[in-house]
Chain A
Amino acid sequence: GAVVSQHPSRVICKSGTSVKIECRSLDFQATTMFWYRQFPKQSLMLMATSNEGSKATYEQGVEKDKFLINHASLTLSTLTVTSAHPEDSSFYICSARLTGGYEQYFGPGTRLTVT
């Protein structure tokens, strides 16, 4: 149980385009989901906390207009990287918190490459 999926697993896009990444909790409901970014040999850095039915809470330094987060249901959150640039190339990982709990379950990650 407690499986989180991400789609796509890899995506290559051209500079200036937008790309959407989906995070789904497959067998549980998640009021809260989290989006992390990880650069090579670096730690996971929390970008934003996504709450179902309300606006996401962004960490300091993360541009909310560039990284659009939508958490429309208890099992789905999406991260849209708008007007992508090569420096946005990274590994994006989501996690989902079981409603009423505190444990987070991590997705497999999405490798974004912006050319």
Chain B
Amino acid sequence: KQEVTQIPAALSVPEGENLVLNCSFTDSAIYNLQWFRQDPGKGLTSLLLIQSSQREQTSGRLNASLDKSSGRSTLYIAASQPGDSATYLCAVRSSGGSYIPTFGRGTSLIVHP
């Protein structure tokens, strides 16, 4: 059974810092990995989707990497802003199944001015 762990659980940083959020998964036979953002009391917003054959994806100040063999992904946020404050969730879809994602518990990020 796939298990997804996110570290750290919470992070508080001053504006302008570059950040790295970590996601690890136990079963490397994955179809893809997706990073989401969740604002308090809201649904999920997809940020980046990395297919199993890819090493990284970039969107603006966000960069996500994938090392399937070691079961790890990182989400890099450059020049953080207060508007980046949210919970970031990592979700892994295992291959050979129904493509239902397994979610981590998320990293709660606060960027203070």
Give me the interface of A with B, judged by CB distance under 8 Å. Answer: 6, 34, 41-46, 49, 91, 93, 102, 104, 106-109, 111
Contacts and interface: CB of A to CB of B under 8 A. Distances in A.
Main secondary structure of the interface of B (DSSP, over half): loop
Nearest to A42: B105
Contacts, number: 38
Contacts of B108: 41
Interface of B: 4, 9, 31, 36, 41-44, 46, 89, 93, 98-101, 103-106, 108
A34 B100 contact: yes
Contacts of B9: 41
A86 to B, nearest CB: 19
A3 to B, nearest CB: 11
A46 B100 contact: yes
